[in-house]
A and B are shown apart, each in its own frame.
Chain A
Amino acid sequence: MKKIAISTTLPLEILLATQCEIVDLNNRFVTSPKASEWLSQAERSGFPKSLCAWIKGLYSACMAEKPDLFIAVTEGDCSNTKGLNGILAHQGIPVLSFRYPQDNTPENLESALKQLATDLSVDWADVLEMRKRLENVRLLGIELDRLTFETNQVTGFENHLWLVSFSDFDGNLEAFEEKLTCFIAEAKTRPAMKQTVRLAYIGVPPMTADLYDYVESVGAHVVFNEVQRQFSMPNSLSAKTLAQQYAEYTYPYELDGRIEDIQTALQTRQIDGVIHYTQAFCYRALDDVILKDVLPCPILTIEGDQATSLDGRTKLRLEAFIDMLREEGQ
């Protein structure tokens, strides 16, 4: 089976219709025991210190995976992926660019999606069939999320891990669906979590996934993982067309859509505070200025770089923030 590696969430309905194995290199990188080594490897190859760790991780993960094709999202995500594509092509890896149109009308999306299908030699009828095939797993994603914020039976970390895996279904849709079904059945038998402070996690998924266990240990429950939830396409069942579904997907476009999505969650999920994660050297750190201004609750911004576990300072900040929210709530 041929292997397609990707740089972030892409329209999986099209990619899976190719019958290839899909690998989101971010997931491969961040869960790899070699993550630190891969970062050093990229730096030895000339990637500057002052560059986002994710790009370096993607590069080394791609060199290790040696996919038959690498698709980078070069618009609607970090523009460093353009440079990355250039380097990978230079190293002999076939590459393709996908651009989320910045004017995200369904018409523009329709044309971008059809172009991707053409580039991958996929029949549009097969794409639509795949969309139908994914309905069940998308529903499971919604249920998992509900068990996180409504019944408090799923931890913030579990929510993060499952939803972030929706970008490639761990490379095996059937197995993923089965595992998630079992997980949900088991989670429903659990007692509700006891943490009293309810947090939203916004921004790109963290390099430091131990963040979730840490906030839990100091009394908080992450009930909303903004971008990870977007990766799972919770709107796919309500969107009439695939183009509409990807036009409503908030991550690649201007901040307004993300703000609306976050504000809805803050209300419906009774959230006390927000953790905004930014990645060192990422343009998305600028969003922080606006988010702090418009979101109606306390925000703690934390920055991650290369480390895959939280440092003492960040722990202190998280703890103090949660302490503060708890006292406000009393």
Chain B
Amino acid sequence: MRILGLDLGSRQVKLVYMIDGAIALKKAWHTATFYRNFCGPSDKENELGISLEALGIEKADLLVSTGYGRNNTNLKDFLAINELKAHSLGAQFQTGEKDFVLLDVGGQDVKVMRVASGQLTDMNLNDKCAASCGRFLEQMAEILDMPLDEMTSYVAEPVSLSSTCAVFCESELIGKMAEGFSPETLAAGVNASLFKRLEPMLNGFEHEHLWLSGGVAKSTALKKHLESIYPRVTPLLDATYNGAIGCCAYGMTVQTRR
């Protein structure tokens, strides 16, 4: 059984191809590149066709998609599921656990999910604000002229950043640079600021074990901050591909029902 899962994110499109329940292929593209190179109009209105051949996929029994475009993008022959379902199924597939809290921090959105007995039972999503997401970190790393991986590793002596807006945070950060704060403490300030915005979203999602997914799961600083409120915090092995893995996991349940 061959299943193709696609997670159409705001920054990247992630593909996972499973053969008989095992991951055979993983690929990611910049979102615009993906739409430009692999998509085109289909025979139906408001539907987008995808060339599987160009993606390097020979054959798939089932195509499942999720992502930011779930409500906007109609992919020909794809079964669309919502992101929360995809992520909760992906985490179950990856961890083998049925009871946990998952925090997914992507390029432009944040999701918190509680899974109990394998069912999604509660969730929280950020409002229309990028100050708690990956895009914010990217922007700040650019301002600090520091690699993203390095910036997201600093925790100690954070400079206090008070802006509630990602755009205004830029000028605040530049102001602090001019005041002579070190790049390390500025980076720690950015990480603390991200955590400060995420923390209220985790209210009511207490658990022994928090799993992390999404691009921001790579941030070691965020992990350390989260450890102040969760006994155990673990990034998923395939944090970036979790949504696409969830699509394949969903596909497997559909196949079983058939």
Q: Collect the chain A residues with CB atoms within 8 Å of residue B83's CB.
A: 316, 320
State whether B70 touches A316 (Cβ < 8 A): yes
Question: Pick the contact of B123 from A292, A313, A324, A327 — CB < 8 Å?
Answer: A324
In the complex, what distance in Å separates the CA atom of A320 from the CA atom of B125?
A: 10
In the complex, what distance in Å separates the CA atom of A313 from the CA atom of B111?
A: 11
Binds A, one of B114-122, B145-153, B173-181: B114-122
| Closest-CB distance, A234 to chain B (whole angstroms) | 32
- Asked if B195 lies at the interface with its beta carbon under 8 angstroms from chain A, I say no
Assuming the contacts A311-B128, A312-B71, A313-B127, asked whether A320 and B122 have C-beta atoms less than 8 A apart, the reply is no
Query: Which of A303, A315, A319, A328 has the most chain B CB within a 10 Å cutoff?
Result: A319
Question: Pick the contact of A323 from B68, B85, B122 — CB < 8 Å?
Answer: B85
Contact string against B for A residues 64-92, beta-carbon threshold 8 Å, 1 for contact and 0 otherwise: 00000000000000000000000000000
What are 7 of the A-B contact pairs (CB < 8 Å)?
A312-B71, A312-B72, A315-B71, A316-B83, A317-B123, A319-B70, A327-B119
Q: Collect the chain A residues with CB atoms within 8 Å of residue B68's CB.
A: 312
Q: Collect the chain B residues with CB atoms within 8 Å of residue A316's CB.
A: 70-71, 82-84, 125
Spell out A's residues near B (CB within 8 Å): 292, 298, 303, 311-313, 315-317, 319-321, 323-324, 327-328
Total count of chain B residues near the partner, CB < 8 A: 18
| Closest-CB distance, B170 to chain A (whole angstroms) | 20
Assuming the contacts A312-B72, A315-B71, asked whether A324 and B121 have C-beta atoms less than 8 A apart, the reply is yes
Q: Collect the chain A residues with CB atoms within 8 Å of residue B122's CB.
A: 298, 324
In the complex, what distance in Å separates the CA atom of A315 from the CA atom of B72?
A: 10
Q: Collect the chain B residues with CB atoms within 8 Å of residue A298's CB.
A: 122
Spell out B's residues near A (CB within 8 Å): 68, 70-72, 82-85, 109, 119-123, 125, 127-128, 204
In the complex, what distance in Å separates the CA atom of A316 from the CA atom of B128?
A: 12
Residue of A nearest to B67 (CB): A316
State whether A313 touches B84 (Cβ < 8 A): no
In the complex, what distance in Å separates the CA atom of A153 from the CA atom of B128?
A: 35
Assuming the contacts A311-B128, A313-B128, asked whether A319 and B71 have C-beta atoms less than 8 A apart, the reply is yes
Q: Collect the chain B residues with CB atoms within 8 Å of residue A311's CB.
A: 128
Q: Collect the chain A residues with CB atoms within 8 Å of residue B128's CB.
A: 311, 313
Residue of B nearest to A320 (CB): B84
Assuming the contacts A303-B127, A311-B128, A313-B109, asked whether A320 and B85 have C-beta atoms less than 8 A apart, the reply is yes
In the complex, what distance in Å separates the CA atom of A312 from the CA atom of B119?
A: 24
Q: Collect the chain A residues with CB atoms within 8 Å of residue B82's CB.
A: 316, 319-320, 323
| Closest-CB distance, A315 to chain B (whole angstroms) | 5
Q: Collect the chain A residues with CB atoms within 8 Å of residue B71's CB.
A: 312, 315-316, 319
Q: Collect the chain B residues with CB atoms within 8 Å of residue A292's CB.
A: 204
State whether B123 touches A321 (Cβ < 8 A): yes
Q: Collect the chain A residues with CB atoms within 8 Å of residue B127's CB.
A: 303, 313
In the complex, what distance in Å separates the CA atom of A13 from the CA atom of B68?
A: 50
In the complex, what distance in Å separates the CA atom of A317 from the CA atom of B204?
A: 17
State whether A313 touches B120 (Cβ < 8 A): no
Residue of A nearest to B128 (CB): A313
In the complex, what distance in Å separates the CA atom of A317 from the CA atom of B68?
A: 12
Q: Collect the chain A residues with CB atoms within 8 Å of residue B84's CB.
A: 316, 320, 323-324
